[in-house]
Chain A
Amino acid sequence: MKRLVHHALFWPAVTLALLLAASSLFNASFLTLTWRDGHLYGSLIDILNRAAPLMVVSLGMTLVIAVRGLDISVGAVVAIAAAVAALMIGGSFSATGEVQSQYPLWLALGTALAVAAACGLWNGLLVVKAGMQPIVATLILMVAGRGIAQLLTGGQIITVYYPPFFALGNGFLLGLPVALWIAGGLWLALHLLLSRTALGLFVRSIGGNPEAARVAGVRSSAITLCVYTFCGFAAGIAGLIVSSNVKSADANNAGQLLELDAILAVTLGGTALTGGRFQLAGTVIGALIIQTLTSMIYSMGVPPEVNLVVKAALVFAVMLLQSPEFRGIVMRVARGNSSKPLDGVKR
């Protein structure tokens, strides 16, 4: 029992379970799954489908945070990838009434992902080679990136008319959303890569102490560069899912505030913001917590904007719980040892 409580995924999982339980109180049919039109159907599936882009971005963000970095440009990269894909696919009606894509689908998707990965590489170069603070380095792409996405789309919403593209965000495979398969596949690949090879150890050692890792012979620069590139790539995948889901690319709003949600998902999942310790599965649960919360607030009939206040309260709670100073105070109060009052803390 004690081991269970101390497992890193225990609290995130409990939070998610409580949220799901609360949701089912408000909405009796919340947990029911039905088989309709050849796939599973229900609120849970809806949450999984909607959480997929956030999961994918957050997985990339987890690794960046694990190497003591931060990437606040992911929202802009989502917009860029969506714009590239939508522009290259487009779609026009041929004489036979069939919709043609402008370029082959694989080429459009490949280019969008390559551009997104290049964005990540750019961030990585600024951090590793130019030695900038991660938040500043990625701030540049956050500001300029959205401008670039708007430049690509001419400030318009680009509509896609080519049906095969819609499968990414709306399709189903073996009864489950395609987007979920993508997010799950990415998680599995990362999990295997980081637990079966030395890479996971390297990432942890860079996050724990970059200088010590370098001296110990870990190629920190190359690995950090790869991590940022992967984060851009992941944001690109999310961009494709999002644009496929809404069948268009909106350079102004696609991925807006996504960086904040991603950071929140990573934190909720138990990854330390100071680097070194990371939980990929925790991040997935974190993304699910955020999406469940959003869906719950919608179904309760509360204005969806209240979401922001709830999220803020969550961030405050999580970061206080992660703070050793705060835990120390709580422990002292819990033990009833109030003989040494701290300044600023009553009694």
Chain B
Amino acid sequence: MSRRLLPLTITVALFLAMAAFGAIRYDGFLSPQVFLNLLIDNAFLCIVAVGMTFVILSGGIDLSVGAVIALTTMISAALLEAGWNPYAAMAVVLLLGAAFGALQGFLIQRFNLAPFIVTLAGMFMARGCCYLISTESLPINDATYTAIAQARIPVGFGSSLTIGALIALVVVAIAMRIAHSTEFGRTVYAIGGGESSARLMGLSVDSTKVGVYLLSGLTAALGGIVMTFYMLSGYSLHAVGLELDAIAAVVIGGTLLAGGVGYVFGTLFGVLILGIIQTLIAFDGTLSSWWTKIVVGALLLLFCLLQRLFEGRTPKTA
């Protein structure tokens, strides 16, 4: 088996092991709906984590995604309140998200600034803008939004998916295609592997770097729309700390934080693992919610140490 596939294999195996543990330990765990709920409850995280995968593959990081989600829910709620057509509102927030990401990408690329500090400032900016719109939670009563939120797509065995979860699956499929069989995707891997080599190969490094952050902003806005379906409200404190969950999902999914190595498919399992930890803790009933954080931290540690073992062969110059 290829050495590169090993982290992904470990991730999938870990997910199956956790599922098996839950099935043995708790009654009613092994039902299709429990597993579909993993996707339904984490649809927005999944979408954002897919965008984050590209950023991390290119060797960068995007800390602004949680705040962009909050801003998206806020702008959606404000536009709907002003009587906008729901689809027009969605288009506007998607455009805004993409523009926000592209601006950050431009600053990072053009002025050679550190991605974490640019996106950190972007995070402050987006959260601050939320508060400028309103400090209260804005409810959404729009008929289209409510209908989408309540829609269930039956998938057999008496279980169903939400539209949000379906969007997440479609995003994963499209992203896998982009990552592995387009020029953009290959360039992202090449930049992560070594930016100067990618440049010497004649790849369009500059536009791809901006594109990566544009994509991350776009997926954050889409994640925000899905979250609006899920929450039916706009609030400045939605998705606080989601950027950390997204990064954790990407890392647990087997993508190297140094960039250049990883799979979008792994990120899906990273998200599912984060979800199943919460489900296991909920099923147990005696463990408090903060155990989630501790377990996620421990898993992050485990995977980072594993990564160091794989990286061991190629010494990195910081």
Contact = CB atoms under 8 A, between A and B. Distances in A.
Interface of A: 68, 70, 126, 130-133, 135-137, 139-148, 150-151, 154-155, 210-211, 260, 263, 267, 273-274, 303, 305-313, 315-316, 319-320, 323-326, 344
B104 to A, nearest CB: 10
Given A133-B258, A311-B128, 13 more contacts: A131-B308, A143-B296, A144-B293, A147-B292, A150-B290, A151-B294, A260-B123, A273-B114, A305-B135, A306-B132, A312-B124, A312-B125, A319-B121
B36 interface: no
B248 A143 contact: yes
B293 to A, nearest CB: 3
9 contacts: A130-B304, A133-B258, A135-B116, A136-B304, A147-B294, A309-B129, A310-B128, A315-B124, A323-B113
Contacts, number: 133
Nearest to B125: A312
Contacts of A142: 244
Interface in B298-318: 298, 300-301, 304-305, 308, 317-318
A344 B296 CA distance: 42
Contacts of B305: 130
Contact of A323 (B111, B123, B300): B111
Contacts of B111: 320, 323, 325-326
Nearest to A251: B290
Nearest to B301: A140
A312 B121 contact: yes
* Interface residues of A, dominant DSSP: helix
B117 interface: yes
A344 B102 CA distance: 13
Interface in B88-144: 106-107, 110-114, 116-118, 120-125, 127-129, 131-132, 135
A143 B106 CA distance: 30
Contacts of A309: 124-125, 128-129, 131-132
A284 to B, nearest CB: 21
B293 A147 contact: yes
A189 to B, nearest CB: 29
Interface string B130-163: 0110010000000000000000000000000000
A309 B305 CA distance: 37
Given A130-B308, A139-B247, A144-B297, A311 B117 contact: no
Contact of A308 (B112, B113, B127): B127
A139 B127 CA distance: 21
B288 interface: yes
B19 interface: no
A211 B296 CA distance: 33
A145 B131 CA distance: 28
A305 B128 contact: yes
A274 B297 CA distance: 27
Contacts of A313: 125
Given A144-B297, A151-B288, A309-B125, A344 B318 contact: no
A101 B296 CA distance: 35
Interface in B220-261: 236, 244, 247-248, 251, 257-258
Contacts of A151: 288, 290-291, 294
A158 B205 CA distance: 52
Nearest to A152: B290
B268 interface: no
A140 B128 contact: no
Nearest to B300: A140
B168 interface: no
Contacts of B298: 144
B75 interface: no
A133 B257 contact: yes
Contacts of B244: 139, 142-143
A312 B111 CA distance: 17
A324 B110 CA distance: 11
A146 B290 CA distance: 8
A260 B122 CA distance: 12
A131 B291 CA distance: 27
B293 A325 contact: no
Contacts of A136: 251, 257, 300, 304
Given A139-B247, A260-B124, A309-B125, A303 B117 contact: no
B143 to A, nearest CB: 31
